[in-house]
Amino acid sequence: MHFDVIFSDEANDTFESIGQQIGAKWGEKEVKEFRRRAYKVAEIISKFPFIFQSVNKTQNVRKAFIHKNCSMFYLVRGTNIEVLFFWDNRQDPIFP
């Protein structure tokens, strides 16, 4: 079964923000690598939505690692996956 992956407005904003931070610090080559990894993870979760760790008791919100410094949080709803936001893992955790 194939799930549709939808990016929320916040996911688009945080994706761009993290991309800009990467570009400012390490350059365009690393931005391209970040984007490639993020799209690869989106492709993986479209095929296997429950492959990554859940972050809450209902098991609907999950955290996928893009890189050791960045994660993607997403919600599984029926046959759709909504990417909620991207998170810089160097920040304080949002889920205990």
Host domain of residue 38: 4-88
Task: Report the percent of the chain where pLDDT is more than 90.
Answer: 72
Tell me, yes or no, whether 95 lies in a domain: no
pLDDT beyond 60 at 91:
yes
Taking the C-alpha atoms of residue 28 and residue 33, their distance in angstroms, rounded to an integer, is: 9
Tell me, yes or no, whether 96 lies in a domain: no
pLDDT at residue 57, rounded to an integer: 75
Nearest to 41 by CA among 65, 60, 61: 65
> Could you give the number of structural domains in the chain?
1
Nearest to 52 by CA among 77, 33, 71, 80: 71
Tell me, yes or no, whether 16 lies in a domain: yes
Contact status, residue 1 vs residue 78, Cβ threshold 8 Å:
no
Tell me, yes or no, whether 94 lies in a domain: no
Contact status, residue 42 vs residue 62, Cβ threshold 8 Å:
no
The CA angle 5-35-71, to the nearest 5 degrees, is: 70
Q: What is the pTM of this model?
A: 0.88
